[in-house]
């Protein structure tokens, strides 16, 4: 007997209840639901449950194993922290969309077949765009439209891929896919779009910064990490993913270093850190998959902490660009220290959770003798510390005095950041808690002398370089891959509105006005009309007087047709002769050919 409920159902039902609650009841309800969902999660037994038959196939709503449990566990933690951070908000639709978003994500995590995966995948995409539109600004509306177009394209690729996969295998089971073939490539493209892999990555840095200060916390964790989860399920060991992940890590850190906007900077680092995970999936060993799971777990926690810090600054100052900030330390000391815990975590400082998770992936690359990947992934940590751990906090909290005087932030926001900071330290100091939840039993010790000393040396030299070479951020636009489809869209719209529109208008006039008018005119008296056509053809060879007479006849004929009159009534016999003539010509053509 099943005595638990699929977590996705809990969150979706809660989203429907929230609009009917008072604000005080809502504040309690949104925190109680994730606690209940966590208790429900621990009641779930391994195996496939909540199975329904549809058109002769089993639809599995809850496939439970160590992998799905781990991701669901951290997603529920993120949701609780995010709801605590947003607990001061009175607008119920923000809370409802967050619950729908979490419900769709958990539906992806526990999907046991491609049909339920597809439904949850599209549900998650729809809820996430609502999170962006909650900002109620024109920029967020436009970013949301671009977001949903990209993700619906990914959804179409997924749908087409699993239909072809079903045709080839006769099975809807969600699991590993044989390499090669159209289904493999379409499903891979769909998953890489959600993972924000270049050239499909610009949607993330374009849309996440346009959400509300609280909404970005949820966006930072759900979509990309659910994509990592499905990549583990289906494409572990793909060499394509290895080098794609390395490229993502480098790409994200370079753009983050150039960025001036706080939340765009952090968004680019989502791409970079997910790159580590994608590379780990590509390596495919048990150590690498453990590293992917551990790093996704830790990234969700410290990235939400970083976005909470940036969101608090934005809410209290109304500013998000580093060039407009500065001197906030004396007004926001607790926020600074809590933010820095997230910054050193993402930079893989010893005693923080990023150190014990990222090193699993890097070590797995070294064990496979993938030395170019190992060197590049190691170097990316320096760029991460440079932008997230040094550039952002220095120019936001110190640097040039901006004259901003932010008020004290709501206590719930600082409390949420405190919980996130505690978890970053807890799993960094005592990694066994995390390692015991990983899918495979791999003996790995992150705290070796060589590893700790080597990491500290790189990070300290990065800090020295920043101290000597730091420059004030400048307000500028970084051209990303979205430039191509934005310009392409502009060109397409110009083509539609100008040459194509002109062509359509002329075709419309020809086929729906000119030709019907001519046929109408011709039908009033076909023989006289034929005489006039002959005259028109002969016009270049006749004199001026005859031309004028012919033009007058044509104008008079057109005027008669407009008033519903024929050109000239002639006997039926003439028409019969004309029809016979056409018939003779037709017979001759048939006889000859």
Residue given tokens 């638990």 in the structure block: 4
- Residue 189 tokens, joined: 């493209």
Q: What percent of the chain has a predicted confidence (pLDDT) above 90? A: 54
Question: Any alpha helices (H) in 284-402, and if so which ranges?
Answer: 286-317, 333-346, 353-367, 371-384, 392-397
Task: Please indicate whether residue 155 or residue 548 has the higher confidence score (pLDDT).
Answer: 155
Mean pLDDT taken over the chain: 86
- Of 416 and 562, the one with more pLDDT: 416
At residue 588 the predicted structure's pLDDT band, cuts being 50, 70 and 90, is confident
* Percentage of residues in the chain having pLDDT higher than 70: 84
Query: Which are the contacts of 322, defined by CB distance < 8 A and separation ≥ 6?
Result: 260, 261, 262, 265, 391, 392, 395, 396, 473
Across 471-491, average pLDDT: 67
Question: Which residues, in sequence order, are bridge partners of residue 192?
Answer: none
Measured CA to CA, the distance from residue 13 to residue 33 in angstroms comes to 10
Look at 204-208, 277-281, 577-581 and tell me which has the smallest mean pLDDT.
Answer: 577-581
564-590 average pLDDT score? 62
Whole-angstrom distance, CA of residue 170 vs CA of residue 124: 27
Token match 């039908």: residue?
523
- pLDDT score at 590: 73
* pLDDT at position 565 over 50: no
Number of other residues whose CB lies within 10 A of the CB of residue 98: 29
What would the mean pLDDT of 553-576 be, rounded to a whole number?
A: 54
Phi first, then psi: give them for residue 217, nearest 5 degrees. -60, -45
At 337, the pLDDT band (50, 70, 90 cuts) reads very high
Q: Note the pLDDT of residue 569.
A: 47
CA dihedral of residues 232, 238, 242, 247 (deg, nearest 10): -100
Q: How far apart are CA 170 and CA 182, in angstroms?
A: 16
Cα distances from 266 to residues 12, 131, 256, in angstroms, run: 29, 18, 7
- The token pair at 88 is 């001061």
d(CA 198, CA 121): 20
pTM higher than 0.75 for the full model?
Answer: yes
Q: What is the pLDDT of residue 476?
A: 63
Q: How far apart are CA 85 and CA 83, in angstroms?
A: 5
485: nearest Cα among 133, 222, 122, 153:
153
**Cα(81)–Cα(104) distance, integer angstroms:** 18
CA nearest to 263, candidates 208, 344, 312, 316: 208
* pLDDT score for 533: 66
Nearest to 228 by CA among 267, 276, 264: 276
User: Residue 590, Cα to own-chain centre: how many angstroms?
Assistant: 62
Measured distance CA(542)–CA(496) in Å, rounded: 45
Helix axes 66-85, 222-235, angle to 10 degrees: 180
**What does DSSP assign to residue 171?**
-
pLDDT number for residue 516: 73
> What's the CA angle centered on 37, arms 36 and 39, to 5 degrees?
65
Q: Which of 327, 443, 484 is nearest to 393 (CA)?
A: 327
List Cα–Cα distances, 432 to 65, 284, 424, in angstroms: 19, 22, 14
Dihedral-angle region of residue 55 (phi above 0 means left; psi in -120 to 50 means alpha; beta otherwise): left
Q: Residue 513's pLDDT is what?
A: 77
Paired sense of beta strands 47-54 and 57-64, if any = antiparallel
Q: Looking only at Cα atoms, what is the longest distance across the chain? A: 113
Q: What angle do CA 416, 422, 424 make, to 5 degrees?
A: 105
Cα 488 from Cα 365, distance rounded (Å)? 38
The four Cα atoms 210, 214, 219, 220 give a dihedral, to 10 degrees, of 100
């Amino acid at each position: 007997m099943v005595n638990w409920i699929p977590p996705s159902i809990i969150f979706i039902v809660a989203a429907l209840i929230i609009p009917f609650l008072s604000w005080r009841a809502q504040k309690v309800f949104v925190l109680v639901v994730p606690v209940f969902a966590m208790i429900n999660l621990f009641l779930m037994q391994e195996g496939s449950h909540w199975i329904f038959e549809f058109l002769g196939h089993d639809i599995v709503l809850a496939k439970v194993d160590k992998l799905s449990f781990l991701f669901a566990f951290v997603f529920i933690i993120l949701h609780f922290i995010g709801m605590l951070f947003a607990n001061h908000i009175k607008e119920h639709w923000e809370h409802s969309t967050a619950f729908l978003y979490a419900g769709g994500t958990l539906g992806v995590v526990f999907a046991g077949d491609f049909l339920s995966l597809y439904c949850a995948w599209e549900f998650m995409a729809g809820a996430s765009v609502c999170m962006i539109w909650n900002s109620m600004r024109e920029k967020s509306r436009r970013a949301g439209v671009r977001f949903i177009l990209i993700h619906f394209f990914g959804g179409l690729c997924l749908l087409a891929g699993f239909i072809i996969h079903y045709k080839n295998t006769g099975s809807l089971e969600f699991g590993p896919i044989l390499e090669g073939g159209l289904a493999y490539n379409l499903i891979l493209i769909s998953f890489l779009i959600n993972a924000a892999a270049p050239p499909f990555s610009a949607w993330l840095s374009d849309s996440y910064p346009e959400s509300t200060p609280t909404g970005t916390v949820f966006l930072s964790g759900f979509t990309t990490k659910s994509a990592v989860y499905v990549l583990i399920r289906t494409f572990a060991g793909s060499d394509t993913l290895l080098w794609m992940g390395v490229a993502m890590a480098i790409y994200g850190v370079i753009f983050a270093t150039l960025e001036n906007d706080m939340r765009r900077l952090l968004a680019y680092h989502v791409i970079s850190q997910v790159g580590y995970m994608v590379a780990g999936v590509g390596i495919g060993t048990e150590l690498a998959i453990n590293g992917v799971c551990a790093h996704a777990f830790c990234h969700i926690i410290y990235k939400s902490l970083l976005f909470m810090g940036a969101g608090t600054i934005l809410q209290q100052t109304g500013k998000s660009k580093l060039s407009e900030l500065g001197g906030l330390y004396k007004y926001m000391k607790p926020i600074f220290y809590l933010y820095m815990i997230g910054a050193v975590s993402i930079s893989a400082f010893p005693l923080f959770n990023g150190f014990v998770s990222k090193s699993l992936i890097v070590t797995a690359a070294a064990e496979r003798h993938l030395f170019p990947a190992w060197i590049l992934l190691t170097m990316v940590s320096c760029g991460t510390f440079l932008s997230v751990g040094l550039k952002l906090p220095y120019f936001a909290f110190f640097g040039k005095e901006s004259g901003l005087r932010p008020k004290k932030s709501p206590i719930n926001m600082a409390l949420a950041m405190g919980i996130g900071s505690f978890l970053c330290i807890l799993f960094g100091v005592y990694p066994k808690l995390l390692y015991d939840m990983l899918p495979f039993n791999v003996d790995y010790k992150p705290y070796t002398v060589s590893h700790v000393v080597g990491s500290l040396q790189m990070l300290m030299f990065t800090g020295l370089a920043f101290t000597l070479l730091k420059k004030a951020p400048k307000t500028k636009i970084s051209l990303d891959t979205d430039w191509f489809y934005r310009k392409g869209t502009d060109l397409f719209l110009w083509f539609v509105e100008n040459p194509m529109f002109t062509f359509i208008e002329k075709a419309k006039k020809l086929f729906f006005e000119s030709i019907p008018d001519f046929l109408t005119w011709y039908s009033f008296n076909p023989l006289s009309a034929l005489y006039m056509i002959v005259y028109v053809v002969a016009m270049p060879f006749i004199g001026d007087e005859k031309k004028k007479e012919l033009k007058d006849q044509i104008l008079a004929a057109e005027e008669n047709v407009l008033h519903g009159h024929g050109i000239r009534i002639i006997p039926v016999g003439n028409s019969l002769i004309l029809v016979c003539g056409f018939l003779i010509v037709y017979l001759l053509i048939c006889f000859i050919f």
